[in-house]
Chain A
Amino acid sequence: MVRRSALLVSGFALAFAACGDPAPDAAIAALGPEDTFVPVGPLHRPGQPCLLCHKEGGRATAFSLAGTVYVNATTRSPLANAEVIILDSASGTFSASTNCAGNFFVLPGDYAPPFPIWLTLRAAGVQRDMDTPSYREGSCGTCHTPTIGPASPGPVYLLNDPTMTVPAANQCN
């Protein structure tokens, strides 16, 4: 009897351990493997929807907001040292900086904004406001996919004018 109960408990434990969340699991798998030249850390997977993994109960340290900023719409040059200013629905503000990969992230312990939030980029004397608020999404990359299409305005970038330049980012050496 005891043996049967133990088997049953083990069965349940195994069943639950095997359970994932199929939709996010598929979305994560679709992102593909890591870039072999970039170690897992603050510089990895630029442009991807960070909070697929970086969420409460997720595979990696939870973020409340995260994303990647590029110099302009046409190149894939990361914009380093840009200021990402977040204004939330309770009139709170928070500022994060992009690293040399253009990535930024906010830890929930530092700031967990009440949505909706409005985002502004500032760098090299240029300011660019996001056209719409975000009502629930903490990953820029969920809506700002690498390619422009009917459901995405493309990547996040600072400069509308492709002839303008900003100081070159160091190449994450």
Chain B
Amino acid sequence: MARNKLGVLGSMGALCLALSLAGCNDFSTADAPGQLSVPSRDDFPAVADAMQLHCGTLDCHGQSGRNMRLYGLYGLRLDPTNNPLGEVTSEAEYDATYSSIVGLEPEVMTKVVQHQVAPETLTMLRKPLGIEKHMGGLLIVQDDPLDRCMVGWLIGKFDAAACVAVVQTQRPEPTQVELDASE
């Protein structure tokens, strides 16, 4: 009888162990609150400006229903009296976008900031890089200015010039030949 009881207890213990292992991830070093790391808030406005036209348009992450939610000029506004073509991006909007981004995958971001895993581990890079399915398609090519801007910020090697280069990219214009051909 005692033997049977031990057997049952043993099986239950093994089951519990298996279940808890199945539920484990490898973020144990960053699990406890207070141990999370985030990239620089000071450098963030340049990164947000670079992301705005590529990620934050009203048909993509400039929507209130999105987990990764970008606020600012040409996109969703935080101030209900403002509009997408109104005032330049405010500090409150940079704050809100920053909170949205660093709050998406805090444990993974901690590991990225602490150089324990590659930046591409983050969903916010996997999707635009085409590593994971993305409704908005392929938006970043590795080592292009937007990639350097975002990755540099994440790993503490902020590349201001790359961020500025993204913002200064000219809107493509159809040539006259193309326009004539389309008529």
Contact = CB atoms under 8 A, between A and B. Distances in A.
Interface of A: 85, 87, 89, 91, 93-95, 115-116, 118, 120, 129, 131-137, 142-143, 148-154
A9 B71 CA distance: 49
The residue in A120, A132, A152 that gathers the most chain B C-beta atoms within 10 A of its C-beta is: A132
Contacts of B137: 89, 115-116, 135-136
Contact of A85 (B76, B139, B182): B182
Interface in B104-153: 135-137, 139
A47 to B, nearest CB: 16
B48 interface: no
A142 B44 CA distance: 29
B82 A150 contact: yes
A129 B179 CA distance: 14
Nearest to B60: A135
B173 A87 contact: yes
Nearest to B74: A132
Given A87-B173, A150-B79, A136 B84 contact: no
Contact of B77 (A91, A142, A151): A151
A87 B84 contact: no
Interface string B88-116: 00000000000000000000000000000
Nearest to A149: B83
21 contacts: A85-B179, A87-B174, A87-B178, A93-B174, A93-B179, A93-B182, A94-B182, A95-B183, A115-B136, A116-B137, A118-B172, A129-B171, A134-B59, A135-B60, A148-B83, A150-B76, A151-B64, A151-B84, A152-B84, A153-B84, A153-B85
Interface of B: 53, 57-60, 62-64, 74-85, 135-137, 139, 171-174, 178-179, 181-183
Contacts, number: 84
Contact of B174 (A115, A120, A133, A136): A120
A100 B3 CA distance: 88
A94 to B, nearest CB: 6
Contacts of A131: 74, 85
A131 B171 CA distance: 8
B interface: dominant SS: loop
Contacts of B62: 151
B59 A136 contact: yes
Contact of B53 (A133, A136, A153): A133
Contact of A132 (B53, B77, B81, B174): B53
A150 B174 contact: no
Contact of B63 (A87, A120, A149, A151): A151
A132 B80 contact: no
A121 to B, nearest CB: 13
B182 to A, nearest CB: 4
Contacts of B59: 134-137, 142-143
A150 B83 contact: yes
